[in-house]
Amino acid sequence: MQSFTNYSRKEKIKFAAIPCPNLTELALEYPGDTGDQDKFAVELVAWLDDQIGSVDGEVSKDERSTKNNSKKIGTQIIMSDNSRIKYTGIANDIIYKEDDLIPQPVSAARNQKDFAFRHKDMEKYIYVNTRPDGKRGGGAKADPNELMTATLCTLASVPTVESIEDLDALLEQVKKIVPKKVEGYTELEVEALEKDYGNLCQAISAAQVIIDNGGGSADKVYITAKSWHDDVKDFKITKYGMADFNASDFIIKKGDTYIGISLKKKKSAKTADPTIINNSLAALMKSHKVFDKVRSELDVAHGEFYIKIVRLANKFQRNPRFKDKAVDKDGNPWLNQRMLDTLGKDGKGITSKNWKDFVQNIPNEFINRQLKGTNSLFKIFGKAITNESDLFANVLMQLILKTDLKTLQKVNFDYALVTGVGRYLVKGPVIESGEYHPIGIMATKVDDLLKTGKPAMVLDERNTQAFDRGATAAMLYFRLTIGKVPIADITLRYKGNFQGAPSFQASLSSEFKEALHS
């Protein structure tokens, strides 16, 4: 088998398939100096977010006064703290490749977690602040889990750890290996290694299962969070509207062989599986012309639904009984006087072209309340997806399982989904068996299942849907099946930005994981 480096550039390119839609194709045109530049800025950042399928981010305008001035427009993306460096790296890569966008400098203190760019027609530039969702201690440190796991894969086996002293000794060993055999790490990640025993337990679990499957004694490992090293950048693939279709968090090199690892972690085998993908419904449909008809229908339904919500908010705010409740946390009305004048008392001033200008001012709680119940927009989404079940199922199957990456085995690149399972307690480290799902076995199992039936998207009857009476969450629950076997559990929900489309999140089903081991 040939090494990847022996292939010509033309031969390598054939492995990088359908590109992400560019700004021209999406008609994201600059509104002019007199237009709503803030809205345009949010739309541009949302477009970037749509292409980053491996990280869950919530896009919005950054209203803090220090983030906006005569030269810049502030936006923000809320996400888990351990995703911020990876997200920023992918976003910068997309910006550099897009002709209409011009990268802007960010201070050395912030350039690993924030990014900035300017549209070629804009005077102001857009500053994007990635902010932690508050679930991981405020975001003071980077997450060193990928660095730990990748470094441990340079060993033939992971030493047994039974105490805090063993963990400290292993961390010291990792620190010595990093500068010798790891590419693409950041100093923030190195600093975060210190006494992070919980992440180390999960890294040990993941590394051991990788080593058990032939990924140990690595000559070198490449962290891809911030950028892809020249040695491995040709393995990066843009496909199905994802800039990060090859979602390898790090890549192992052994001789002429490479193994891409998509790494997840959880504290216990009983804990819910982490999300594998986070893909915008809109980005998915824009990646294939077969979705053009259903996309057009959903765009109309989307606008009609939010026009109703804005009119309801307009009526609510104008009612003297509720006027004091229709204010934000600072006491400002949801809809300012200019918006009220545009809408008019009957709300007829809102159209299919301007509804997004108003929705961004209405609180999430108010909108989510309308998204639950028999008149929910999610009822239309659910029907559209199940009516075109085969189209959605086939694309989502690729996004989740990445079976198209099997073609890279021709150039000595393998790929696996890996989950490390562990935690650190007062009594000491708890390290459980990790999960390892290689692309070859997943692709073979999919081929076997396809002989029994077609892929399909079905509503999950185990859960209460957003359009059901008594719904407690503005969310749709699906199961992706092949024949009678559920492959993945999928949800569709908004990420806090109601101007855009909701997003799919998915994890492998327990039935499929059992099938992989049978």
CATH number of the structural domain spanning residue 133: 3.30.460
Burial class of residue 162 (count of CB atoms within 10 Å of its CB; 0-12, 13-18, 19+): exposed
pLDDT at 188 over 50: yes
DSSP state of 368: H
pLDDT of residue 241: 67
Q: Total domain count for the chain?
A: 2
Specify if 27 maps to a domain: yes
Question: What is the rounded distance in angstroms from the CA atom of residue 150 to the CA atom of residue 221?
Answer: 6
Specify if 193 maps to a domain: no
pLDDT of residue 31: 65
Range of the domain at 44: 17-139
Overall average pLDDT of the 391-414 stretch: 89
pLDDT of residue 431: 97
Question: What is the rounded distance in angstroms from the CA atom of residue 169 to the CA atom of residue 178?
Answer: 15
Bridge partners for 455 per DSSP: 482
Overall average pLDDT of the 9-36 stretch: 52
- The pLDDT confidence band at residue 240, using thresholds 50, 70 and 90, is low
Share of the chain above pLDDT 70, in %: 91
Specify if 122 maps to a domain: yes
Question: What's the gap between Cα 225 and its chain centre?
Answer: 13
Burial class of residue 385 (count of CB atoms within 10 Å of its CB; 0-12, 13-18, 19+): buried
pLDDT at 512 over 90: yes
Asked if 58 contacts 78 with a C-beta cutoff of 8 angstroms, the reply is: yes
Specify if 215 maps to a domain: no
Specify if 416 maps to a domain: no
Share of the chain above pLDDT 90, in %: 54
pLDDT at 17 over 60: no
Sheet holding 485-493, edge to edge: 277-280, 503-508, 485-493, 475-482, 455-459
DSSP state of 408: G
Of the residues 372, 404, 419, the one at which a domain ends: 372
Specify if 259 maps to a domain: no
- The pLDDT confidence band at residue 238, using thresholds 50, 70 and 90, is confident
3-state secondary structure of 223: strand
Asked if 81 contacts 134 with a C-beta cutoff of 8 angstroms, the reply is: no
Q: Which residue has the higher pLDDT, 35 or 473?
A: 473
pLDDT at 268 over 90: yes
- The pLDDT confidence band at residue 330, using thresholds 50, 70 and 90, is confident
Could you tell me which of 119, 116, 115, 131 has the C-alpha nearest to residue 76? 131
DSSP state of 473: S
Q: Kindly report the pTM of this predicted structure.
A: 0.82
Of the residues 372, 403, 433, the one at which a domain ends: 372
pLDDT of residue 327: 86
Specify if 345 maps to a domain: yes
DSSP state of 334: S
Instruction: Give 309-356 as a 3 state SS string.
Output: HHHHHHHHHHCCCCHHHCECCCCCECCCHHHHHHHCCCCCCCCCCCHH
Bridge partners for 279 per DSSP: 504
Question: What is the rounded distance in angstroms from the CA atom of residue 355 to the CA atom of residue 381?
Answer: 19
Of the residues 321, 345, 372, the one at which a domain ends: 372
As a whole number, the mean pLDDT across the chain is 87
Specify if 449 maps to a domain: no
What tokens does 394 get?
Answer: 């086939």
Q: Which residue has the higher pLDDT, 391 or 56?
A: 391
pLDDT of residue 103: 93
